[in-house]
Chain A
Amino acid sequence: MKTPLLEVRSLTTQFFTEDGVVRAVEDVNFEIHPGEILSLVGESGCGKSVTGLSLLRLIPIPPGKIMSGELLFEGRDLLGLEEREMERVRGNDISMIFQEPMTSLNPVFTIGNQIMEALQLHQNLDKKEARRRAIEMLDRVKIPSPEVRIDSYPHQLSGGMRQRAMIAMALSCQPKLLIADEPTTALDVTIQAQVLRLLKEIQGEMGMAVMLITHDLGVVSEIADRVAVMYAGRIVESGPIEAIFGEMRHPYTRGLLESIPQLEEKKKRLNAIPGQVPNPMDLPTGCKFHPRCHLMIDDCKKEEPPLYPVNKNHFSRCIRWKECC
């Protein structure tokens, strides 16, 4: 097997708020290989964004803190880097795009300006060369007449165009890894599909790895190679996309899959998972999913289950994985 591009080992991130400690990410392990698309899925609040932000060390400190773990990027632990060195990783080796294209671009600078900033920072390009490259990137993300659009301010673009500009900015320095945090969630459905297709296409051309964060399994099924399902700050199941969609081994994954609206079955009620996402300040004992689980037995309340290997690249954190699902 190839050596992974990024290896995340027992990442634990917490927030120390006035109301108590938020255990947002707890002992998370995964790896991303060069050129693959790993999707991190789970309901809102399960710690996906915090995981993504932790990788770039962009957690607001305080209140947040990365309590422990290793982030081995090409063998080098990002958590051990000086802030200056980390700045050279951000936007250059690892980039990130965010959910809200409306608020994620600086309103007072042109998009060209914002794309050129990264190029000038990391690639030592002069202004003219950076501008040429920025136009090239805008063309690449299929923004029409890029040599004109480059001088637009974010408010002059539609949501979809802004997200394309964000992608152009993130990819301008040809990073090896792109963290895309719900890149299509805030967009109209038709635009969502376009942006997703674009992302997949560019990923194919440029060959970078992508960590795609989403709560939408529909999005995952379109483009991911591998899936990690998160619940209450933990990865509860991970495996290749066929395994997750075909033979899931965790009742939570099953619940998520059943809650995807199917066009043909419009009349059938959406099978939402019963109960609520647990409060990360006051998590249940044992398996964090047991209060909502139809397979729950007494043992589920006692100890947190480990990740059981279903086979060599498929894992489930359920003691009854054999009976599920």
Chain B
Amino acid sequence: MTSFLLRRILQMFITLIGISIISWLIITTAPGGPISLTMDPKISPKIIEQMMKNYDLDKPVYQQYFLWIKKLFTGRLYSFKDGRPVLEKIWERIGNTLLLNLVAMTIIFSLAIPLGVFSARKQYSMMDRLTTFGVFLGLSIPGFWLAYLIILGTVELFGYPVLGMRSFVTEGFGAGEIVMDRIWHLLLPAMIMAIHGLAGLSRYTRSSMLEVIRQDYIRTAKAKGVPEETVYYKHGLRNALLPIVTLFGFLIPGLIGGSIIMESVFAWPGIGRLAYQAVLARDYPVVMTINTITAVLVLLGNFIADLLYGVADPRIRYQ
């Protein structure tokens, strides 16, 4: 077990370095640069040269990469755009992003699994067909389009703001109203972010369940006189959930990708929106650092999924 953990951590570390090198290459070779984008064209070449020097942009790409790492770990990494420490900018916002993702993840798991189990149990029933239809609809609707539609719709219908984390004007709100206001602002983007995962995961649960109930041990349980419901929910579900545990790891990248779009659409002050703005401004230090943090989250998610799988399935041995 210990050697497994050490090996996995080393693996994650190597993967992380690989990811950061590739992101670095992609970002620095993308057309445009931080200076040309932000600067007035009339500015003197001398100042530009000075700025290039400040940002290490006069050095070869590989040196820039090592300088970035060095600065990141010594806490002296500053944004090109406003000169603020990158970690500080991210720290302010990462909690908001995690909150949004956590809520989305909770929605996905708490709805998708019952939905999938139900669909499998009543295979080809009207409800199963309806959920199947809903799932494919959910999978094929682009999130940003739906988000705009919902923003328009709710504002038109209720005349209530949906952008940001809270309403601007909250004077005269009671404590209850403030909480409701926050929940409202949180739930809309989280729900839209959850749609894809929800659709995918419920489908997956359904097929996993259908696969499991054909197994021999289900027949054994029935032959023992275990009531139908118990066979399904105890013997069946427990096995059907095993592969789903690993999906937990795969869902994270999708959610984070989704949060870049949703945070931008909903003006949610998280690192997704920060990353989007930083990419537009070619703010390399911010983009790179967010990339790396995201990669760490994804790798951690997979790692946790592996460990959970071992807990859930007695056949798994770590060596």
Binding site for B on A (CB under 8 A): 56, 58, 83-84, 87-92, 95-96, 98, 100, 103-109, 114, 117-118, 121-122, 153, 155, 166, 169-170
**In the complex the two chains form, is B228's CB within 8 Å of A103's CB?**
no
Cβ-neighbour of A95 out of B215, B223, B312 (below 8 A): B223
Residues of B within 8 A of A100 (CB): 216
Cβ-neighbour of B220 out of A83, A104, A108, A153 (below 8 A): A104
Q: Which residue of A lies closest to B224 (CB)?
A: A91
**In the complex the two chains form, is B225's CB within 8 Å of A155's CB?**
no
Minimum distance in angstroms from B107 CB to a CB of chain A: 27
**In the complex the two chains form, is A90's CB within 8 Å of B224's CB?**
yes
Q: Which residue of A lies closest to B217 (CB)?
A: A106
Residues of B within 8 A of A103 (CB): 215-217
Q: A108-B238, A108-B239 are in contact. Are A90 and B314 (CB under 8 A)?
A: no
**In the complex the two chains form, is B217's CB within 8 Å of A104's CB?**
yes
Minimum distance in angstroms from A142 CB to a CB of chain B: 21
Whether B92 sits at the interface, judged by CB under 8 Å, is: no
Cβ-neighbour of A107 out of B222, B224, B227, B314 (below 8 A): B314
Please, what's the 1-or-0 string for B201-228, where 1 marks a CB less than 8 Å from any CB in chain A? Answer: 0000000000000011101111111111
Minimum distance in angstroms from B122 CB to a CB of chain A: 14
Q: Which residue of A lies closest to B313 (CB)?
A: A108
Residues of B within 8 A of A107 (CB): 217, 239, 313-315
Q: Which residue of A lies closest to B213 (CB)?
A: A60
Minimum distance in angstroms from B239 CB to a CB of chain A: 6
Complex CA gap A153/B227 in Å reads 23
* 12 CB-based A-B contacts, threshold 8 Å: A90-B224, A90-B225, A91-B224, A98-B220, A105-B217, A106-B221, A107-B313, A108-B313, A117-B224, A121-B224, A166-B220, A170-B224
Interface residues of B in 96-136 (CB under 8 A from A): none
**In the complex the two chains form, is B239's CB within 8 Å of A106's CB?**
yes
Apart from A58-B223, A89-B225, 10 more pairs, CB < 8 Å: A83-B228, A100-B216, A103-B216, A107-B239, A108-B242, A108-B312, A117-B226, A121-B224, A122-B225, A169-B220
Q: Which residue of A lies closest to B222 (CB)?
A: A58
Whether B235 sits at the interface, judged by CB under 8 Å, is: yes
**In the complex the two chains form, is A98's CB within 8 Å of B216's CB?**
yes
Minimum distance in angstroms from A290 CB to a CB of chain B: 35
Complex CA gap A103/B219 in Å reads 10
Determine which residue in B222, B238, B242 has the highest number of CB atoms from chain A within 10 A of its CB, and name it: B222
Complex CA gap A158/B47 in Å reads 77
Minimum distance in angstroms from A176 CB to a CB of chain B: 14
Residues of B within 8 A of A169 (CB): 220, 224
Residues of A within 8 A of B222 (CB): 58, 90
Residues of A within 8 A of B223 (CB): 56, 58, 90-91, 95-96, 98, 170
Minimum distance in angstroms from A141 CB to a CB of chain B: 16
**In the complex the two chains form, is A98's CB within 8 Å of B219's CB?**
yes
**In the complex the two chains form, is B216's CB within 8 Å of A121's CB?**
no
**In the complex the two chains form, is B216's CB within 8 Å of A155's CB?**
no
Minimum distance in angstroms from B165 CB to a CB of chain A: 42
Complex CA gap A84/B228 in Å reads 9
Q: A105-B217, A106-B220 are in contact. Are A88 and B314 (CB under 8 A)?
A: no
Q: A118-B225, A153-B315 are in contact. Are A105 and B242 (CB under 8 A)?
A: no
Q: Which residue of B lies closest to A156 (CB)?
A: B314
Complex CA gap A91/B271 in Å reads 58
Minimum distance in angstroms from A214 CB to a CB of chain B: 18
Determine which residue in B238, B312, B313, B314 has the highest number of CB atoms from chain A within 10 A of its CB, and name it: B314
Residues of A within 8 A of B226 (CB): 87, 91, 117, 121
Minimum distance in angstroms from A104 CB to a CB of chain B: 5
